[in-house]
Structure formats: C-alpha cells, structure tokens
Structure 1
C-alpha cells in the first residue's frame, strides 16, 4: 500500500499506461482522478475498477492540448477528492508519418498534446501542490524515444525529449516546495499508439529480438515504476529518468 491516503491524478487514463497506473495506484491505496479525451465507456470502466478496490475515482473529460483543460482537470479533481498528492502526466499521441512530407497539422497536434499539454498540466498540478503546502510528486511518461531517433517519429521524439527535460527543470523549480519531479522512459509497450504498427508479425519479432528480456512491454509494466517514484520510497529521488524498456536501450548496438 505505497500510496495509502494519497490522491493521484493521471492524464490519458482511459486506456494503456494511464489506465494501468490509475488502477495500480488504487490497489496501493490511492483515490484517483483520471483525465480522458473521448472514450467515455473505457473511462467509466476504469473508474468502476478503481471503486471495486474500495477507492474513490472520478473521470474528467478534456483535451490536454487546450490549456484550459489543465486548470479544469486539477480544480475538479481537487473538488471531488480534496487534494492533489501525486500527478502523473501520461497523455500522448504518435501518428506515425514520414519526415519529408509531414503535415503541419500532424506536427502541431503532436506538439500540443505531448509537450504543451504536459507543460500546462504539470504547471496546474504544481500550483495546487504549492497551495496545499505539503509537497508532492510529479511523474511524467517520457519515452526511450527521448534518447534515440525514429524515422517515422520526427514529430514525436522531440516532444518526449522535451517532457524529460521539463521534469529536470521542474525538479529544480519545485524542490523548494517539497515537490519531486521524475520521468519514466518506456521502451516498446503494446498500447493503442503502436498496435497498428506492431500488427506486422515480422516487425514485432524484430522488436522482441532487440529486447534482452525477450518480450514487448505491457502497460502494467509501467505502473510499478510510476508508483514507486510517486511513493515515499523515492523520497530523495527527483530530476531522475528511469528506463522501463526490458533492456532495449543498452542493447541498441
């Protein structure tokens, strides 16, 4: 019960890593507020799982690309659950596309969701934590793509590098308030973002062979590391980045 008595907010949590984190946090004793973009049914089922664990849950709909969504999410979550102890920035998109003919709309939407959305959400959560005066923990889902390139991810990799850098700077800015800021860098995790790309059996087998642990990741593989960084077990950890990739990064040679 690493998060007993705490309240956790997570963005992009109707599916994938966000959903696994929300439910995992409830298993560890947290009340949870989730942000989601459009899938009402999946958001409702996530909250149902949280409540089945005996915790409070609330789902708040909103597009993280809109700066007003951040303030609305934090305000409504605080009203419903009383406070914000942990904030997990997870929402992200990766519409694979070639570099030379990248549509302006695709580039700008990816930046607005992944990087601008992270900035505004983290800022809103941090302001609430400062107001409460009891510190807190912020964890952002970056990516191994913050460290390596991708032919069809020239719009995505800069945003994930930016999220990683944001956590480093926020750790400095917020340390005096007792707020810790860290990031996790997932490797290849089977989520809605890449399910079409990895539907090709040959490509999937190739990816698996590059991973020392011999398998692709699952959303639940991220929940544990995120909960650790959010918990008091990581009380002296801030500005850090934790690779959660089955060893892929060290094997890219």
Structure 2
C-alpha cells in the first residue's frame, strides 16, 4: 500500500533509532525521504541504500537542529532537494541526566533549543512554505510520555516536552485554516541507542518493566507505525493531540 506516493518527508534526527525507523516505514509506503543528522556517516549511507532498494529517493542533509537558523535552512534545503515537502517529522531530541540543582544554563539551553526552540522555528519555516505554495502539510512531533508524567533528574527535558505538548495544541487551531495538521507522538520506553545503558543493566530494566503493563520495551517500528498513520490521509481529521506508544506506561506509572 503506497499511502505516500508522490510525497516527500523530512525526518530530523534520522540516523538511527526511532528516526531511522520512521524513514524506512514512510519509504516502504511510497515516500521519498530527506534524512538528517549532525553528521553523515555509515548509518546515513546504509539508510540511503535501504531506501533506494525500495525504489524510493533519499537524501541526507546535515544540520544541528539546536540552532534555529540551521533548522530553517534544513527545511528550505529539503524543499529544494525534490521541489516540495509534504511531511515534517520533528524527531531529533536530547536529554541530560542531572540533579535539578546542578543543571547549568548551557545544559538547559541545549535541551530546550533542541527539543522546543528548533522545532518551533522548523515548523514555522515549513508553514511559510505551505502558505507560499498554497498547499497543506503534516507535522508530527516526537514528544515523550514525559510531557505528561514526571522524570526526576530530567527537569529540562520534561519542561521541553511539556512545552511541545502545548505548542502542538495551539498550532493545531492556528494552522487548521491553512490545511496543516499537527500531532505529537509520545514514546515510552523504547529499545533505542539512547536506552542502551538501561537495556544492559538488569536492575534498571526490571524497575522500568514493573511500570509497563505489557512488561516489555517497545520497538522503534512501533513508534514509526503511528507516525505513518498520523502522516497519512487515514488521519485527515486528526490534529492537536498526543498519541502514546508506551505499552500502557503513562497511566500506570509509579516512581520507584
């Protein structure tokens, strides 16, 4: 099924993990893909080959999305790559594990700039394009269950995801007349490189699994499946909400 035939998707932070899974899923359903990361390496090369082997086009654009101008340039360069842009998946994100009283301004700014400020101005650049081209578009933001539930020692991260939740709700109303839909996907505990330490530490992993009714970590492909739905016309009446991919974690959560 080619839900994304003749569609172009830009996915930030797509060298690995959830972003890479999203790229492969959208390509498998017909989309041409703009990949992104801070640097182009063997991971990007491998993804381009996989996407090309599906018969789809793929380009890798390097950009550090913690800088708003970089994100604006990334969106505009993505549009130039294939002459259009239909889907923006804001997947790139960072987290810092610190006691609240030890967080530096530099660390706070890095998290907020990557997880909220960069996304804000990336969406703005995309919306300006949609308005100028007189066409609609779809935005999917990668939030987190921590837009809703606490995460001690990750205060800046939680603040950034809480802000993203409200930004998405607000923009859903403001952008609806422009035929631009926007939603959040909120992964729980997913088996990705960012959780490598968790997966390799049995005690930590068991503590997490106690809070997940399904008693297992999710896979990047589980998240990508929901991103694909929200990006498609199957979700043409869906905007302004957050969709959890968490095995039941969010409303079963108890801090250990």
Common topology (TM > 0.5): yes
Asked whether the equivalents of residues 3 and 25 of structure 1 are also in contact (C-alpha less than 8 Å), the reply is: yes
2 CA distance for matches of 1:5 and 1:82?
11
Q: CA deviation at 1:178?
A: 0.3
2 CA distance for matches of 1:155 and 1:196?
21
2 CA distance for matches of 1:47 and 1:89?
19
Structure-1 residue corresponding to 2:203: 202
Deviations 1:41-62 (A, max 9, x none): 2122112211111101110001
The answer for unaligned runs of 5 or more in structure 1 is none
Asked whether the equivalents of residues 141 and 183 of structure 1 are also in contact (C-alpha less than 8 Å), the reply is: yes
TM-score, normalization by structure 2: 0.95
Deviations 1:177-213 (A, max 9, x none): 1000111111111222232244321110121222112
2 CA distance for matches of 1:36 and 1:98?
28
Structure-2 residue corresponding to 1:42: 43
Q: Does residue 1:15 correspond to 2:11, yes or no? A: no
Name whichever of 190-199 and 97-106 sits farther off.
190-199
Q: CA deviation at 1:8?
A: 0.7
2 CA distance for matches of 1:120 and 1:56?
26
Q: CA deviation at 1:93?
A: 0.5
Structure-2 residue corresponding to 1:110: 111
Asked whether the equivalents of residues 139 and 183 of structure 1 are also in contact (C-alpha less than 8 Å), the reply is: yes
Aligned residues: 253
| Pairwise CA RMSD | 1.3
Deviations 1:82-116 (A, max 9, x none): 21111100100112111111122211111111111
Deviations 1:48-80 (A, max 9, x none): 211111101110001101112122212221111
Q: CA deviation at 1:39?
A: 4.8
Name whichever of 52-61 and 105-114 sits farther off.
105-114
Q: Secondary structure at the match of 1:60?
A: strand
Asked whether the equivalents of residues 36 and 62 of structure 1 are also in contact (C-alpha less than 8 Å), the reply is: yes
Q: Secondary structure at the match of 2:194?
A: coil
Q: Secondary structure at the match of 2:101?
A: coil
Q: Secondary structure at the match of 2:70?
A: helix
Structure-2 residue corresponding to 1:248: 249
Asked whether the equivalents of residues 11 and 91 of structure 1 are also in contact (C-alpha less than 8 Å), the reply is: yes
Pick closer, same or farther for the CA change 1:133–1:121 going to 2, 3 Å.
Answer: same
Structure-2 residue corresponding to 1:53: 54
Q: Secondary structure at the match of 1:156?
A: helix
> What does 1:23-34 align with in structure 2 at a 5 Å threshold?
23-34=24-35
Q: Which ranges of 4 or more aligned residues in structure 1 deviate by more than 3 Å?
A: none
Q: Secondary structure at the match of 1:17?
A: helix
Asked whether the equivalents of residues 94 and 193 of structure 1 are also in contact (C-alpha less than 8 Å), the reply is: no
Asked whether the equivalents of residues 129 and 136 of structure 1 are also in contact (C-alpha less than 8 Å), the reply is: yes
Name whichever of 38-47 and 133-142 sits farther off.
38-47
Asked whether the equivalents of residues 40 and 60 of structure 2 are also in contact (C-alpha less than 8 Å), the reply is: no
